[in-house]
């Protein structure tokens, strides 16, 4: 193994270790929330554990009887209250305390996660700014109304209809309810750095199939697309990774009419006669250099019996992936602006989680788009490796908000479900049968574990 390979391996190991520590930190902070609230209300706590599995370190407080332990597997942790899952006579047992006190203890974990996530995201925004969309190829239009109500090249998008844009999915959520032909107000920083508001005509319906289908919301604002080619096996002209650029109808061999979608190639091919040539340019990278390559396809058929897929296959294209033509631009904020942005970003992340769960339940979003602990660690380590401290703060804050929201969901075994049982007891003045509640939580744990394993497995395919 050479030094470069060794350094790469060590970098990967370090990133994975940091990712595991981030997840462990969030779980520990969550359990610390339960612990602090429990101590305030004088709950009897048997053990506070960091990690799961056999203990590698234990220390008992002789005065309180509490055990602090560090366990071998750095994924998980717990704050074990006496009488949490059974009825005991001790006045300080969990189930002997008033329901409202138990509810506060239960939500304290998620509250701590949210506070830490908020702090991390605010620090990240203040120290590193936030990434925004900078346009560089607004699609031209012959429609005068569209041309007059359009973004300009070098605009940096800050707000749409008065709502801040924090993430890519915000374009979809902010434009939800609008349709093609509507006009929205977009606040941008123009090429001179001045903040201006542009009225923008929506060029298509802006909402896609689900939250992560963001392309329609970008193209509605006039942001151009480009197609990356997956060639057919028998094609020798197109190469994997080519980008379709333009037709060969420009002057003196220059690029001609831009091609934004593969369907435009199909439409052009259908207009040609037998003996004509379909000619277009692709952008190709070879030996680290980018160059425009002319592709010429002989037309030997009228395509009357061909569907669009068959026409593309004739051209030599098996499929294309659509990419948006914009640049990420870091926008910096003042101290107080950063606090506001950090808070807004945190609320936005939490709302996105609810939207995602709703789309999972309705089938709009497939479970292959979510992941379990292994996927979380993998994504976190990759972000840390690529973006260093900035991405570490950002994704750690994101995970914190995720844990806060997810744990308060009324799903058996989660804190939210236990809050529901406490609320029922508070209203009825008597608890649900503890055995039945215990069975419900046990089944919930099994279902959650199974779901976590399933979604991680699906990420492999």
- DSSP assignment of 358-373: HHHHHTSS-GGG---H
The reply to whether 124 and 19 lie within a common domain is: yes
Query: Lowest-confidence range among 1-15, 251-265, 390-404?
Result: 1-15
The residue among 331, 365, 396 that closes a domain is 331
Is 279 within the bounds of a domain?
Answer: yes
Cα(354)–Cα(335) distance, integer angstroms: 29
The reply to whether 19 and 119 lie within a common domain is: yes
Assign residue 156 the CATH number of its domain: 2.30.42.10
- Spatial contact of 43 and 83, defined as CB atoms under 8 Å apart: no
* Per-residue pLDDT reduced to its tens digit, 30-54: 999 999 999 999 999 999 999 999 9
The reply to whether 28 and 116 lie within a common domain is: yes
* Model confidence, pTM: 0.82
pLDDT bucket at 13, cuts 50 / 70 / 90: low
Is 73 within the bounds of a domain?
Answer: no
* Per-residue pLDDT reduced to its tens digit, 74-114: 888 999 999 887 778 788 999 889 999 999 999 999 999 99
Is 370 within the bounds of a domain?
Answer: no
| 362 vs 38 pLDDT, higher one | 38
The reply to whether 255 and 283 lie within a common domain is: yes
| Structural domain boundaries, residue 201 | 130-222+325-331
pLDDT at 287 over 70: yes
The reply to whether 204 and 231 lie within a common domain is: no
pLDDT at 131 over 70: yes
The reply to whether 276 and 201 lie within a common domain is: no
Question: Chain-wide mean pLDDT for the chain?
Answer: 88
The reply to whether 230 and 178 lie within a common domain is: no
- Among residues 238, 229, 228, 183, the alpha carbon closest in space to that of 206 is found at 183
The reply to whether 142 and 199 lie within a common domain is: yes
pLDDT bucket at 399, cuts 50 / 70 / 90: confident
Share of the chain above pLDDT 70, in %: 95
- Number of neighbouring beta carbons within 10 Å of residue 310: 13
Is 361 within the bounds of a domain?
Answer: no
Cα(233)–Cα(318) distance, integer angstroms: 8
The reply to whether 210 and 242 lie within a common domain is: no
Helices 434-458 and 415-428, axial angle in degrees (round to 10): 160
Is 365 within the bounds of a domain?
Answer: no
Is 339 within the bounds of a domain?
Answer: no
Assign residue 292 the CATH number of its domain: 2.30.42
**95: which DSSP letter?**
G
Is 273 within the bounds of a domain?
Answer: yes
Cα(227)–Cα(282) distance, integer angstroms: 10
Q: What is the Cβ-side half-sphere exposure of residue 444, based on CA atoms within 13 angstroms?
A: 17
| Helix residue ranges per DSSP H, 181-231 | 215-220
| Helix residue ranges per DSSP H, 316-372 | 335-362
At 279 the pLDDT is 93
**Mean local confidence (pLDDT), 295-317:** 91
The reply to whether 147 and 214 lie within a common domain is: yes
Tokens read off for 440? 């419900």
Query: Lowest-confidence range among 13-17, 291-295, 346-350?
Result: 13-17
| 373 vs 162 pLDDT, higher one | 162
- Among residues 10, 155, 52, 94, the alpha carbon closest in space to that of 445 is found at 52
Is 369 within the bounds of a domain?
Answer: no
- Spatial contact of 305 and 270, defined as CB atoms under 8 Å apart: no
pLDDT bucket at 11, cuts 50 / 70 / 90: low
The reply to whether 27 and 119 lie within a common domain is: yes
- Count of domains in the chain? 3
Strand, coil or helix: 7: helix
pLDDT at 403 over 70: yes
The reply to whether 218 and 229 lie within a common domain is: no
């Amino acid at each position: 193994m050479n030094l470069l390979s060794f350094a790469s391996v060590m970098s990967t190991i370090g990133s994975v270790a940091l990712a595991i520590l981030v997840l462990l930190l969030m779980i520990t902070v969550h359990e610390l929330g339960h612990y602090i609230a429990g101590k305030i209300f004088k709950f009897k706590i048997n053990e506070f554990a960091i990690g799961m599995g056999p203990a590698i370190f234990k220390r008992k407080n002789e005065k309180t009887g509490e055990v602090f332990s560090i366990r071998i597997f750095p994924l998980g942790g717990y704050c074990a209250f006496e009488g949490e899952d059974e009825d005991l006579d001790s006045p300080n047992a969990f189930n002997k305390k008033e329901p409202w006190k138990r509810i506060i203890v239960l939500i304290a974990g998620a509250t701590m996660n949210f506070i830490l996530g908020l702090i991390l995201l605010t620090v990240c925004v203040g120290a590193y700014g936030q990434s925004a969309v900078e346009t560089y190829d607004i699609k031209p239009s012959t429609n005068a109304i569209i041309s007059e109500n359009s973004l300009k090249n070098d605009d940096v998008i800050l707000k749409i209809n008065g709502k801040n844009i924090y993430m890519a999915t915000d374009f979809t959520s902010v434009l939800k309810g609008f349709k093609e032909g509507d006009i929205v107000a977009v606040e941008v920083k123009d090429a001179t750095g001045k903040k201006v508001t542009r009225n923008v005509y929506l060029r298509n319906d802006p909402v896609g199939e689900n939250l992560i289908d963001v392309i329609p919301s970008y193209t509605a604002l006039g942001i151009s697309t480009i197609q990356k080619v997956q060639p057919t096996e028998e094609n020798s002209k197109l190469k994997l990774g080519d980008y379709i650029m333009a037709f060969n109808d420009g002057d003196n061999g220059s690029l001609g009419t831009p091609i934004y979608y593969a369907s435009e190639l199909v439409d052009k091919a259908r207009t040609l006669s037998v003996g004509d040539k379909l000619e277009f340019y692709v952008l190709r990278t070879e030996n680290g250099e980018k160059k425009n390559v002319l592709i010429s396809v002989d037309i030997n058929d009228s395509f009357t019996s061909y569907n669009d897929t068959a026409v593309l296959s004739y051209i030599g294209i098996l499929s294309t992936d659509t990419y948006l033509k914009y640049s990420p631009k870091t926008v910096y904020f003042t101290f107080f602006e950063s606090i506001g942005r950090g808070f807004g970003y945190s609320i936005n992340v939490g709302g996105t989680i609810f939207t995602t769960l709703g789309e999972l339940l309705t089938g709009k979003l497939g479970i292959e788009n979510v992941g379990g602990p292994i996927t979380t660690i993998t994504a976190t380590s990759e972000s840390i490796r690529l973006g260093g401290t900035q991405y570490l703060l950002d994704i750690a804050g994101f995970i914190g908000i995720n844990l806060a929201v997810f744990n308060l969901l009324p799903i058996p075994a989660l804190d939210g479900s236990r809050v529901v049982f406490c609320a029922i007891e508070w209203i009825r003045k008597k608890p649900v049968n503890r055995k039945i509640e215990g069975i419900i939580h046990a089944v919930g744990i099994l279902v959650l574990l199974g779901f976590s394993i399933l979604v991680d497995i699906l990420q492999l395919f």
